[in-house]
């Protein structure tokens, strides 16, 4: 008989799925790394388990402890699944711009959820960075994960996602495109792929209101670039240690409107029911068209599942209220 000992053993080995209609104008083969097949429905399951295992190994996380993290929802889900299997409690801090579905899902798997305002700077004591750090200091027998600066985040993708993409494309991948938030995925996958073939191009998808693109191009952290935006899960108003700018060849920025519209189009034209950042990712691929030739194999990573955005991206009343559709 073939079966997994627990749900954590089903993480990884997600399929590559070809895009057809939305990429018809491109000369190359475009394949999506379809991470919703993970048990928590997102790529974050990979690094959540790796961060927990590494913290257990060096004693930062002790038996019966409480896991504390600031999350946009998906890392929290991965941490919660691992906590259930391993016997930990969870407290997750989330900003009020994240979808209600994400908050409900975290509570459904037994986590305590603390909601913070989105439109405050990272240093503000009310920000989700500050609140999660403070809870980590105040809660007995707790471990503050800090996915932004935790090296296990990057390591997880160097050891699993990168090798999977290399093997699934038989080493023929020429470009990797992914939305950038904590930086663990692009840095871990990018480092692995460039180790295998330094000619592979690594592209980050950024959003307007985030600092990544300008910092990569100029080395300047420009606070004028920072303003509230709607797209969930990508972009930052800080520079996480997990973003290895040295392995990234370039960034393209995608508007909130394009991210939302293309998320809907993925569902309606490709049958791919995905989260907000997938729309940004595929629009980013289309914006990079001039960099691709007929011999290229472009892999774009789709982070999470559409069920977490039903009240927003897939709700046309909400889309109209944002001015995203007529």
In the predicted structure, residue 88 carries a pLDDT above the cut 90: yes
Contact yes or no for 193/173 (Cβ under 8 A): yes
pLDDT for the residue numbered 72:
82
Residue 319 DSSP one-character state = H
Distance CA 319, CA 268 (A): 15
Place of tokens 């029911």: 273
DSSP sequence for 65-102: -EEEEE-SSHHHHHHHHHHHHHT-EEEEEEETTS-HHH
How far from each other are the two terminal CA atoms of the chain, in whole angstroms?
Answer: 54
Distance CA 51, CA 153 (A): 6
Q: Where are the alpha helices (DSSP H) in the chain?
A: 44-57, 74-86, 100-108, 128-138, 151-156, 162-168, 184-196, 212-218, 256-270, 276-287, 316-321
- Let me know if 172 is a catalytic residue: no
In the predicted structure, residue 111 carries a pLDDT above the cut 90: yes
The CATH architecture of the domain made up of 7-37+160-321 is 3-Layer(aba) Sandwich (3.40)
The CATH architecture of the domain made up of 44-144 is 3-Layer(aba) Sandwich (3.40)
What is the pLDDT confidence band of residue 122, given thresholds at 50, 70 and 90?
confident
Do 44-144 and 7-37+160-321 fall under one CATH topology? yes
Place of tokens 């000369």: 27
In the predicted structure, residue 153 carries a pLDDT above the cut 90: yes
Task: Work out the average pLDDT over 76-80.
Answer: 96
In the predicted structure, residue 98 carries a pLDDT above the cut 90: no
pLDDT for the residue numbered 151:
98
Residue 42 DSSP one-character state = B
Place of tokens 């289309």: 286
pLDDT for the residue numbered 128:
86
Contact yes or no for 48/86 (Cβ under 8 A): no
Domain chopping of the chain, boundaries? 7-37+160-321, 44-144
Pick the catalytic residue from 18, 21, 33, 44.
44
Three-state DSSP at 280 gives: helix
The angle at the Cα of 156, spanning 151 to 157, to the nearest 5 degrees, equals 105
pLDDT for the residue numbered 312:
94
Instruction: Report the percentage of the chain scoring pLDDT > 90.
Output: 93
In the predicted structure, residue 285 carries a pLDDT above the cut 90: yes
Distance CA 120, CA 209 (A): 13
């Amino acid at each position: 008989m073939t079966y997994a000992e627990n749900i954590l053993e089903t993480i990884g080995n997600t399929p590559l799925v070809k895009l057809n209609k939305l990429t018809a104008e491109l000369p190359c083969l475009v394949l999506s790394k379809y991470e919703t097949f993970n048990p928590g429905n997102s790529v974050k399951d990979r690094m959540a388990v790796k961060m927990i295992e590494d913290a257990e190994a060096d004693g930062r996380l002790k038996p019966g402890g409480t896991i504390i993290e600031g999350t946009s929802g998906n890392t929290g889900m991965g941490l919660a699944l691992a906590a259930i299997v391993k016997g930990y409690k969870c407290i997750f801090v989330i900003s009020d711009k994240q979808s209600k579905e994400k908050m409900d899902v975290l509570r459904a798997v037994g986590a305590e959820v603390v909601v913070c305002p989105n439109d405050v700077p990272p240093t503000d004591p009310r920000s989700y960075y500050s609140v999660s750090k403070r809870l980590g200091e105040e809660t007995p027998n707790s471990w503050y994960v800090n996915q932004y600066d935790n090296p296990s985040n990057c390591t997880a993708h160097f050891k699993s996602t990168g090798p999977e993409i290399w093997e699934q494309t038989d080493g023929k991948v020429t470009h990797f495109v992914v939305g950038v938030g904590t930086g663990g995925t692009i840095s871990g996958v990018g480092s692995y792929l460039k180790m295998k073939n330094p000619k592979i191009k690594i592209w980050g998808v950024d959003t307007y209101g985030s600092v990544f693109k300008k910092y990569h191009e100029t080395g300047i952290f420009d606070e004028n670039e920072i303003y509230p935006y709607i797209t969930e899960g990508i972009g930052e108003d800080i520079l996480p240690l997990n973003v290895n700018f040295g392995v990234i060849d370039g960034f393209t920025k995608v508007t909130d409107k394009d991210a939302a519209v293309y998320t809907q189009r993925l569902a309606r034209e490709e049958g791919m029911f995905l989260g907000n950042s997938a729309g940004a990712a595929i629009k980013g691929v289309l914006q990079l068209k001039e960099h691709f030739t007929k011999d290229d194999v472009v892999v774009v990573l789709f982070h999470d599942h559409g069920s977490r955005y039903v009240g927003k991206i897939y709700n046309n009343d909400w889309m109209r209220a944002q001015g995203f559709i007529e």
